Each structure stands twice: as C-alpha cells, then as structure tokens.
Amino acid sequence: MNVATSPRWLISGAPRPAAPKLYCFAHGGGSAAEYLRWARDLRGAAPQAVQLPGRGSRAAEPPLTSMDELVEAFLAGVAFDSAPFAFFGHSLGSLVAYEVTRRLRATGGPLPARLVVSGLPAPHLHRAGGELHLLPDAELLDAVAQRHGGIPAEVLATPELAALTIGPLRADYAVLETYEWRAEEPLDLPITVFGGADDRVTAEQLDAWREHTTGEVTVRQFPGGHFYLRERPAVVLRTLAGALRTLGAREGAAPC
C-alpha cells in the first residue's frame, strides 16, 4: 500500500519502534480506548488501537454499517509496512480483523504474522440476519446487555451516556447482522483463538477457526464470560504476549 496512514484510524501509546505492531479491533460498540490500556502492560508489542468512525475522537463522523465498506475504508486509510505485525480482535473485531486479512491477501498487501481472534465463532458458522440493529434505542441497549454484558450500568442508567453509545452499537450490529461469509481458500498464517469459558460462544465454535488457515491454530479459554479479558486482564495479556513472541520481532524489541 502506498498511502500514508490517516491519524484518524489509529491511536497508539508510547512509541516502541523496536516492537512489532499489534492492531487491535474492538467489539461491537467499542472504541480504541479499550486497548490503549494495554500499552503499559503489553511491553513486547506496540498496540495500535483502531478507532472506527462514529465513536471517541471520531464521534462526529457517520458510522459504517456494512463489512465491505468498513474494510475498504480502513485499508484506504491505513498503510502497513513489511515489518512483522499482528491483528487482535474481540467479538465483532475478530470478524473485522479476519476480513481485513483476507482483503490484504486479495490485493497483494503484507499480511499479519499472526491473527488473534477472541469471543467469536468461526466465520463460516455465521448466518446473516437478525434485527437487533433495528430495535428502538432502549431495547437495543437492553438486548445487548442481556446477551453479552459489557455495557456499564452507568451507561444504561444515564440518558446522555446512552445516547453516545447507541449510534456506534447500532452501526456495529448492522455490520454483524448483514455480514455474509464468502468462501475462499484458507489463510496461510497462524491463528490464536481466545474465549471465555462461560461465554455463549462454545469451545466447538472456537475450535472451528481451524478451518480458516493451513497454519498452526491455538485455542485457549479463560475463566469468565464474553468480556473475560476485562475480568482477568493480567493472564490474558501474558498469554497474548506469549503468542506475539513468535512474530520475529524487530531487533532490540523489549521482552513481553
């Protein structure tokens, strides 16, 4: 890719030029802030938190509502170099990271050295459809909170905070519910799969990610529900750091 990276798309912590970049894609309704907190503790990588339109520093921009336009817009605004880098996504972010990887392959771009997905069944198990994104605001917030949790109680109880949350959440559920998986050749790179032992996403659904690569696949479940990574961040980050050690980090990278 020969475009310069737009500062709108990526937010990073303190520079770590020797460390491989880890591009982090948030869950539905989430923002880059979720992963900026990792920058302090994940010292063997340089987290690059992806900020989608319609939230955080891009709150004034209209959110994207389909996977194709999201992937196209992201790749038009972000340039990857040939140095080792990895993708991490949680829930919807896993699907976005996967589709970005497939689009990079299709266009001859550099590929991540590892794809780390979390809290999402393998893409071929997804069935398009669903009407959550069409629900009235209060019903949408309640439905998502009941299904996955992750929405702070103060957001549900405060109209001003709920109003900031509902736009990105509705757009992201539109992306998810209108997504249709298209069969392609499996990727040829290692995939690490994380999940919560008490999540609705089953061990079998996580293990099915093996069908999407000819490379090595590691599956790990942690205690907790859909947002297990908030419940036990230290053990999750240690495991993620271990996966990233295999990237062939640039000379002089700090140890994880």
Spatial neighbors of 41 by CB under 8 A, at least 6 apart, are: 233, 234, 237
Partnered with residue 88 across adjacent β-strands are: 24, 116
Distance CA 197, CA 221 (A): 6
**% helix, strand, coil for the chain, step of 5:** 45, 15, 45
Is residue 31 flagged as an active site residue?
Answer: no
The radius of gyration of the chain from alpha carbons, rounded to an integer in Å, stands at 17
Partnered with residue 25 across adjacent β-strands are: 89
Chain position carrying tokens 């030029």: 17
CA 33 to chain centre: 13
DSSP 38-75: GGGT-TTSEEEEE--TTSGGGTTSPPP-SHHHHHHHHH
Catalytic residue among 31, 57, 66, 91: 91
Token pair for residue 110? 């550099």
- Catalytic residues, by residue number, are 91
